Amino acid sequence: MTLAHYLTLSGLLFLIGIFGALTRRNIIGILMSIELVFNAANINLAAFNHFRHPGGVAGQAVALFFITIAAAEVVVGLALVLAIYRNTDTVYVEEFSLLKG
99 is a contact residue toward other proteins (CB under 8 A)? yes
3-state secondary structure of 98: coil
13 is a contact residue toward other proteins (CB under 8 A)? no
98 is a contact residue toward other proteins (CB under 8 A)? yes
96 is a contact residue toward other proteins (CB under 8 A)? yes
| CA-wise closest residue to 26 among 14, 16, 34 | 34
Closer residue to other proteins in complex, CB, 72/99: 99
User: Do 60 and 45 meet the contact criterion of CB atoms below 8 Å apart?
Assistant: yes
Tell me, by CB under 8 A, how many residues bind other proteins.
13
User: Do 22 and 62 meet the contact criterion of CB atoms below 8 Å apart?
Assistant: no
16 to 45, contacts with other proteins by CB under 8 A?
18, 21-23, 30
* Cross-strand bridge partners of residue 92: 26
51 is a contact residue toward other proteins (CB under 8 A)? no
| CA-wise closest residue to 66 among 43, 83, 90, 85 | 43
**Interacting residue ranges for other proteins, rule: CB under 8 A:** 18, 21-23, 30, 93-94, 96-101
